[in-house]
Amino acid sequence: MNEPHAAAAEPGPLYAQVLESTRLLLTPGRSVPVDEIASHAWAHLTEQQRADAVSVLMTSYASQVHYEQAEQSHTRAASDPDVTTYLGDFDMAMLWDTHADTTSGPDETTVDRRALLNVLCEVELLRHRLAMARNETSQD
């Protein structure tokens, strides 16, 4: 959840063109808005490359929206004094027991998904609270 990712087997023409447009447009001492780089890259694709890139763009956009919503949710939770933890009573104990289980091989284990999700949400909550505290300290 930390960063949006669009899974792809290998970079396509859009990816290559964005890199090339970035290289061409960014010069020392000049900043360029991302939308200008994107427009330049899009303009240099063929019609077929554009058609092929639409699904990549939609996936990337959907991933970004999901990421932003998750970040907003975590920020609200981090600011809410009533949200103290995502952890259930036995989440940590179940994960520690899973970790200590020696019956499975070294590269495989079975984990309670809900407990793992709660622990991951707790880590995100702590990360946001730390970032907010650092931001408040830097503004003082």
In this prediction, residue 105 carries a pLDDT of 62
In this prediction, residue 16 carries a pLDDT of 94
Helix (H, G, I), strand (E, B) or coil at 112: coil
pLDDT by 10s per residue, the chain, length 140: 444 444 445 778 999 999 999 999 988 888 899 999 999 999 999 999 999 999 989 998 998 898 888 778 767 776 777 766 666 667 677 777 776 666 666 666 676 777 777 777 777 778 777 788 878 877 76
In this prediction, residue 6 carries a pLDDT of 46
Residue in the structure block whose two tokens are 């179940």: 94
Report the predicted TM-score, pTM, of the whole model to 2 decimal places. 0.48
In this prediction, residue 121 carries a pLDDT of 79
In this prediction, residue 35 carries a pLDDT of 93
